[in-house]
Amino acid sequence: MTVGLAIVSHSVRIAEGVVELAAQMAPSVAIVAAGGTDDGGLGTSFDRVQAAIAEADSGDGVVVLCDLGSAVLTAQTALDFAEAPERIRIADAPLVEGAVAAAVAAEGGAGLEQVVAAAESGLQGAARPEPTAGEGAVVEPEDGAAVLELELENEHGLHARPAALLVRAASGFEAEVTVNGVDASSLLRVLALGLDRGATARFEATGPQADEAIAAIRELAESGFGEG
């Protein structure tokens, strides 16, 4: 089982589109759309939100993402009437970016609070660091750190699906992994780097499984981050 997601939007098409996008990164996660009013118009529906939360909950909890303020109010009302409100969290996050980041975290087996944190990680610290990747940024590794530096050869660099694969790899070990100085387990921070094909990516890992994490990332890079 994994943490599920409920996507609440004023628009049926927006909710369904976000579900379609996030599902590409996390095929085993239950991601359910709750868009529009009961008759399919613009707005939100308590019944639809309540049903989406119930459908998305496999037992590990549900993270709800909303597009506008009144959608949050509808979600909060649904939470008030939920049988197990302790298993529901409303993330304070941008709808699309937050949903994709949350889905990737859930796919990797993260718990409820970790999935919320992943969704909200774009609100703080996701700005492009200085100096930018591919412009000669050099960071001295910590003592005992495992390091891998390479030039990205896959067609789209670390964008969307390749970045999601990296995040899963970085999150799968007992290690702290960074890429060009940012947390490699945060999809939004990785995407904010803007690492295109030809850019230099420097991975550093510390912790009991640092070497294993770097070896997994090396293997992933050699496969073209899923684009090989």
- Give the Cα-Cα-Cα angle 170, 173, 174 (nearest 5 degrees): 120
Phi, psi of 78 (to 5 degrees): -60, -40
Angle at 79 between CA 74 and CA 81, to 5 degrees: 100
Sequence-ordered list of residues with C-beta below 8 angstroms from that of 130, at least 6 positions apart, any chain: none
Q: Of 2, 4, 10, 191, which residue is the catalytic one?
A: 10
> Is 10 one of the catalytic residues?
yes
User: Hey, what are 201's tokens?
Assistant: 């990516």
Is the backbone peptide bond immediately before 131 cis, with ω within 30 degrees of 0? yes
Q: Give CA–CA dist 173/168, Å, rounded.
A: 9
Angle between helices 161-171 and 210-222 (to 10 degrees): 160
- Annotated active-site positions, please? 10
